[in-house]
Amino acid sequence: MCGIVGYIGSKEAYEILIKGLHRLEYRGYDSAGIALINGNRELSVYKAKGKVSALEDSVAEKDTTGTIGIAHTRWATHGEPNVVNAHPHYSQSKTLALVHNGIIENYKTLREVLVKHGYKFDSETDTEVLVELIEYMKESHGCDLVRAVHLALKNVVGAYAIAILDKNNPNRIIAARKGSPLIVGIGGTKEGETPEFFLGSDATPIIEYTDQVVYLKDEEIVVLNRDGSYEITNLNNVQQTPQLQTLQVSLDQLEKGGYPHFMLKEIHEQPKALRTCIGSRINKRQKDVILSGIIDHKDKFLKARRIIICACGTSWHAALIGKYFIEEAAHIPVEVEYASEFRYRNPVIFPDDVMIAVSQSGETADTLAAIKLAKEKGAFIYGVCNVIGSSIAREAESGTYIHVGPEIGVASTKAFTGQVTTLSLIGLAIAKEKKTLSDEIYTMLVDELNNIPEKMQWTLDNNKGIDNFAQMFTYCKNFIYLGRGYNYPVALEGALKLKEISYIHAEGYPAAEMKHGPIALVDEEMPVVVIAPKRGMYDKVVSNIQEIKSRKGKIISVVTEGDETVRVLSDYCFVIPDTRDCFVPLLAVLPLQLLSYYVAVAKGRNVDQPRNLAKSVTVE
């Protein structure tokens, strides 16, 4: 949660920082702030409650000059979202300003100690404690600021990515990370250019200026100097060798490209994104899956007693579909765990367990902690992430990127279908090694997975008019989503999408469970979305629809093209082309994403930045 940007160089920092904050706004949008040092060595901090645009309005008349600065967009953890609690935070002497992403768990103890030494606090945040601690270390040890940062961070329990400005030294930014991500962009490296450095919680504020980056590692501190030199040390002040990497993201992937919202763009991008996800992993001529992450560690999968898939949110729904497929294709028992539950219940892990961590951002704090725990207990860790070089991707011993490009809308869409596709590829790759599928079935499944991007395009082209239809549901207070087998997780995901962005209460259920409770809620006011493809359990789902119909519920169904039986029973129908059971979720979820999108738009919601949510949950 929270986004950090920083700049030092020869350009005016303000524009770069504000643009960067807009790109990071998906990480939090409760309040925003900026700190700049101008040509007279004055350190100014400006903050505003609400979005980055509120900050821009509030500084309209202020001095925003300066070629060095740091900025922050907040998702509140300690202290309500207001101007006082917004970052950057000054130190007591107002010579330092600091921005922070993460949680300092022992901040209360540290605060008590600092209060005893005469420090006063304006805010309720853990961040102000950190900047005061750094100042205290500097003064009590009589040392340089970099040393003071080392000493302060050694006393901190918790997670942090920080950046610090020092009024007395306008020629350097000091930054550090543990648990929360931080990337350094290195610009002005060509002949005749002036050196400059950028900081970002992810690559999006950096990519416009340079593709040369260093991903800071845990417990590393970097000093970025105006003359282009930089140094990375660890908490023990031992110099570290930076690993320069080239970013793979392009700028147009970060723009809306003519769509009113990132979410709508990302929904429509899915056929192309999945084509990239499948990419070279399927050999089309030989109808074969090649996943080096599995091939290189095939012994782990051949002897795996079970697979545990760990995830949160939408990724957890994708994990459930992955479970069904891997069990069916590779005959390995699969358990799906909420990372936040798993990490705190002393789970039984065998050394021949494989844990697959599914995470779009690769930064979700609970998922990261879960894989660290499983690794400690001897499990083999496989990552399924979208963000290249993210913490989970680096912590995993092997893995497969989903390669769907940056996802900016807070409600996950293309990452979900990318995760389901990648888990299907993994299931097929393990099945090939274990020889659990006949050649005929294996080839047929590979071939069909390869056809999915085309069928997704068909689905998007043949479900127009959802915008008009969605208007009717703006006054609903509840929705039920039903599905069976592979489509039960789709029901969960459809309900989550609606909840997240329209704030209408929605529940997903296995269709047959409806009669054990939810059916009591059904009346003429209740829309029930049923995923009813003409595949396995079709007849049983039709019976479930009839049960709802006889209680006057409104049926919105997802049906296979040409199915008249369910169409007649439904008040509204979405159509999908026929595909194998295991791949229906990849098509059925598309109209459900569009339904939630258009209901939210009709209700005037902020679709890309729904209230109280953040794209990446890097705190507990």
- Cis peptide preceding 88, ω within 30 of 0: yes
Shortest CB 18 distance to ligand G6P, Å: 24
Residue nearest to ligand G6P (CB): 313
Shortest CB 513 distance to ligand G6P, Å: 23
**365-394: which residues touch ligand G6P (CB under 6 A)?**
367
Which one among 9, 28, 69, 313 touches ligand G6P, defined by CB under 6 A?
A: 313
CB atoms within 10 A of CB 331: 12
- In whole angstroms, how far apart are CA 539 and each of 181, 557, 563? 49, 14, 12
Helix (H) or strand (E) holding 184: strand 183-187
Helix (H) or strand (E) holding 428: helix 414-434
Q: Given the complex with ligand G6P, which of 180 and 360 has the nearer CB atom? A: 360
Binding mask 293-312 for ligand G6P (x = CB under 6 A): -------------------x
**What's the Rg (C-alpha) of the chain?**
26
Shortest CB 279 distance to ligand G6P, Å: 21
Angle at 210 between CA 207 and CA 215, to 5 degrees: 75
Which one among 340, 359, 417, 579 touches ligand G6P, defined by CB under 6 A?
A: 359
The conformational region for residue 289 under phi > 0 = left, psi -120 to 50 = alpha, else beta, is beta
Q: Tokens 């900081």 belong to which residue?
A: 199
Binding segment for ligand G6P (CB under 6 A), chosen from 34-42, 200-208, 313-321, 512-520, is 313-321
CB atoms within 10 A of CB 523: 10
Contact between 291 and 425 (Cβ < 8 Å): yes
Shortest CB 590 distance to ligand G6P, Å: 17
Q: Given the complex with ligand G6P, which of 357 and 379 has the nearer CB atom? A: 357
3-state secondary structure 484-552: CHHHHHHHHHHHHHHHHHHCCEEEEEEHHHHHHCHHHHCCCCCEEEEEECCCCCHHHHHHHHHHHHCCC
Shortest CB 10 distance to ligand G6P, Å: 36
- The rounded distance, in Å, linking the Cα atoms of 518 and 249 is 45
Q: Tokens 């493809």 belong to which residue?
A: 533
Question: Is 400 a residue that touches ligand G6P (CB under 6 A)?
Answer: no
Under DSSP, is residue 174 helix (H, G, I), strand (E, B) or coil? Answer: strand
Shortest CB 594 distance to ligand G6P, Å: 17
Q: Given the complex with ligand G6P, which of 25 and 132 has the nearer CB atom? A: 25
Question: Is 210 a residue that touches ligand G6P (CB under 6 A)?
Answer: no
Contact between 314 and 359 (Cβ < 8 Å): no
For the record, the structure tokens of 537 come out as: 């359990």
| Catalytic residue set | 2, 615
Q: Given the complex with ligand G6P, which of 489 and 527 has the nearer CB atom? A: 489
Which one among 360, 391, 502, 570 touches ligand G6P, defined by CB under 6 A?
A: 360
Helix (H) or strand (E) holding 232: strand 230-234
Q: What single-letter amino acid sits at 185?
A: G
Q: Given the complex with ligand G6P, which of 97 and 393 has the nearer CB atom? A: 393
Q: Given the complex with ligand G6P, which of 111 and 414 has the nearer CB atom? A: 414
Number of residues that bind ligand G6P (CB under 6 A): 15
Q: Given the complex with ligand G6P, which of 233 and 360 has the nearer CB atom? A: 360
Q: Given the complex with ligand G6P, which of 56 and 363 has the nearer CB atom? A: 363
Helices 270-278 and 414-434: angle between axes, nearest 10 degrees: 30
Shortest CB 569 distance to ligand G6P, Å: 33
Question: Is 17 a residue that touches ligand G6P (CB under 6 A)?
Answer: no
Contact between 230 and 184 (Cβ < 8 Å): yes
For the record, the structure tokens of 359 come out as: 């995470």
Binding mask 401-440 for ligand G6P (x = CB under 6 A): ---------x-x----------------------------
Binding mask 579-618 for ligand G6P (x = CB under 6 A): ----------------------------------x-xxx-
DSSP per-residue letters across 555-574? EEEEEETT-HHHHHH-SEEE
Contact between 275 and 432 (Cβ < 8 Å): no
Shortest CB 323 distance to ligand G6P, Å: 16
Q: What single-letter amino acid sits at 276?
A: T
Binding site for ligand G6P (CB under 6 A): 312-315, 359-361, 364, 367, 410, 412, 613, 615-617
